Structure formats: C-alpha cells, structure tokens
Structure 1
C-alpha cells in the first residue's frame, strides 16, 4: 500500500467519490496537498483521507474512506498515523477530527489515542463528537 498526495490527474476520481466536498474546493485542496490517496500494489486507488484546518491553525481530518474489501486490515490506522506524522513534521503539536455519535468511527479514533474534546449538536443532525490528539 502506498500513500501519496492527490494530484490534478486524480480530480475526476475524487469528484466521483467524495460527495461531501464541494466541487470548487477539489483543485485548491489538491494544490495544498490536503488530500491523500491510498493505492494498492497495482496503483489502484483504494481509499482517501482529506483534511483542513480548524480555526485556520489546527489540522482537522475531515474524511477518511477505505474501499469496503480493505476495511479492517489496518489501512485506516496506517493513513491516520501517516497524516499525524506529516503534521508533526510541519510543526503542529495537535490534530483534530470528529464523527457523529451514531457512527462506529468514534471507537476507531479512541483506539488511536484521540480524546473526546466536546460535541456539536445541529438541528436535525446526530451529535457530532469532536476529538483531539497531542502529537508527541
């Protein structure tokens, strides 16, 4: 498995799968190296991870997605640790993410050392749990 930043040639692939990202933001996210792609040995894309910045200064993982047949194999953990290492190398001391309270991902993040840091409740949405992790 290989992790690398998305490039312009990956735009159509991202556009067709990441339905939570406005189309006009794909190119800027690619330019800023805020989308990582996971590829198998044949170079086929098997997942992605996208991030931004909370309060414009704290790396915030917005999305991680792995092809169904690769889930439960450690790839999610691997890409999160890769991202955390990248953020640490860039001088950040903390990262953040969130998940809805009705999603199992909250357990995944806690196993990776993320701590509950609060929540957000929007009308007609499940509770959003916010997590932080200090990078050491």
Structure 2
C-alpha cells in the first residue's frame, strides 16, 4: 500500500465517499495536507483525514478503507504511519474518537490508545475520546 497526501486529483474519489465532511471543506483539507490518500497498485482504496484538537493536538477524524480491502491491515498501517509523521513534527500525543457502538474502539485500543473521555450528544451514541503518546 502507498500513502501520500491527497491532491485535487483525489477530490472526486473522496467527495463521493466521505459523507461526514462538507464537500467545500475537502479542498481546504487537501490544501492543508490533512488528508492522506491510500493506493494499492495505483488504485485508490481509501483515505485518512485529521485535524487538530484544541488547535494543538493531532486528531484523527476518519479512516476509510473501501470494502474489498478491509481486514488486510491497511488501517493499522495508516495509523502507524500517521503517528510517525506526527512524532516527527514534534507532537507527543495524538487523539481520535469513535462511537461506543462501533468496533473501531477495539482497533484503537489494540494500537495502544487509551480512553480519555467521552461526549454525549442528543440522539447519538456515546462518543469515546482516545489518546496515545507517540
């Protein structure tokens, strides 16, 4: 798997699939180098996007792997690569979150993330906040 920062050429692929991010913000995040595009044999297979919690802590917002490529370790590779990039930039802690009814919480914990809090919004499952020292 190859992982690079997304470019404007990746806009269509991401905007067709990312239902959690307003389309006008995708270009902004691409320009800010806050989206990685994942490729296998020159074919897009997913992406990961992040921002900064409290403007000072890298926060992984979403990892997406297309269905045929799931369960092959690509998600783990993405997270470890991102953590290394953040460490090289001088960050000591990274964060992410997942809803309590999603399996992702177990994935993150296996990678060393610990629960550090939660958020409860009306009509949504509990959002678990996780962090990891890098």
Q: TM-score, normalised by structure 1?
A: 0.96
- Aligned-pair CA distance for 1:84: 0.4
Query: 1 CA distance for matches of 2:131 and 2:85?
Result: 16
Counterpart residue number, 1:26: 26
Runs of 5+ unmatched residues, structure 2: none
Counterpart residue number, 1:54: 53
Counterpart residue number, 1:126: 125
The equivalences for 1:1-136 within 5 A come to 1-41=1-41, 43-135=42-134
Q: How many residues align?
A: 134
Q: TM-score, normalised by structure 2?
A: 0.98
- Aligned-pair CA distance for 1:108: 0.1
Give the aligned CA root-mean-square deviation in angstroms. Answer: 0.7
- DSSP 3-state at the match of 1:107: helix
Query: 2 CA distance for matches of 1:119 and 1:34?
Result: 24
Moved over 2 A (4+): none
Query: 2 CA distance for matches of 1:116 and 1:52?
Result: 19
- DSSP 3-state at the match of 1:82: helix
Query: 2 CA distance for matches of 1:106 and 1:69?
Result: 21
